[in-house]
Amino acid sequence: MSVNTVRLAVGVLGVFGWCLTLSSATQVGLSDKVLVFPYETDFSFVALIPQKEMGLRAFTLCMRVATELPEERQIILFAYRTADYDELNVWREQDGRISFYMSGDGTFFHLPSLTTFRTSLCLTWESRTGLTAFWVEGKRSTYQVYKPGHSIRPKGTVLLGQDPDKHLGGLEAVQSFVGEITDLNMWDFVLSRSMIQAWHYGHKVPKGNIFDWGNMEYELNGNVMVVDDD
C-alpha cells in the first residue's frame, strides 16, 4: 500500500469516525477520462486528494456531469466534509433545483435540468461579499448573497458519488450519484467570466490549484469505472 493510500485511509477514518473501505492504491491523472458511476449504491465513491489544504475564502468549482436519474431523486454532486461539518456540498434537490451548502443552511438555484447529455457546471463564491453563482454552459445564473465573511475549514475529505454524513451512520444509496463526471477542476479564487467560458469551450485556462483533472490524485472505491472520454 502506498504512503498516499495510508494517508487517505487515516484521514477518512479520522474525519468521519467510521471505516470506508479503500479498495485500491492512490492513482494520479484523469486527462481524457470519465468517471462512471453505473449503479445506485451505498459503497461506491471516489476520494479526491487536494493539492493544497482547503481552508478557503473563495473558490471556483467546475465539472462536466451527466445523469439519467429522475428529477425527483436527490443527488450529491460534490461533498467536502470535516469532522463536524459539511463544509462544501453541491446537490441536485428532489425538486430539481441545484443547491450549495456550507456548514448549515444552503442556497438554491433554478437551473436547466441535468440530463443524459453532459452539462458543464461551475460554482463560484467569495467570502468578502458572499456573492455566489452557478454557471451552466458558460452562462451565469443570478447572483445570490450567501454567508459573507464565512471561511471553509481545512483538513477534511472530498468525495464524489456519496454524501458522508456521520450523523446518519454513513453513506446512503438513495443520495448517491449515478452517471458520469469528468473534467473536475477547482481553484482557490473566483475565475473571471472569460475564463469560465474558456473552460466551458475546452480552451486552455490556468490549472486548478486545488484540483486539476489532468493531475488529480484519487482513490476509486466500489463500482466506479474510469473510461476513455470518447
Residue 81 within any structural domain of the chain: yes
- As for how many domains the chain has, the answer is 1
Domain range for 163: 45-228
Residue 204 within any structural domain of the chain: yes
Residue 98 within any structural domain of the chain: yes
Residue 1 within any structural domain of the chain: no
Residue 126 within any structural domain of the chain: yes
Please report the pLDDT score of residue 190 as a whole number: 98
Residue 50 within any structural domain of the chain: yes
Distance of CA 143 to the CA centre of its chain: 20
Low-confidence ranges of the chain (pLDDT < 70): 1-24, 166-170
Secondary structure of residue 13 in the 3-state scheme: helix
Q: Are 176 and 161 in contact (CB under 8 A)?
A: yes
Give this prediction's pTM.
0.88
Residue 95 within any structural domain of the chain: yes
Q: Are 175 and 162 in contact (CB under 8 A)?
A: yes
Task: Read off the CATH number of the domain in which 95 is found.
Answer: 2.60.120.200
SS3 of 43-92 = CCEEEEECCCCCCECEEEEEEEEECCCCCCCCEEEEEEECCCCEEEEEEE
Please report the pLDDT score of residue 166 as a whole number: 56
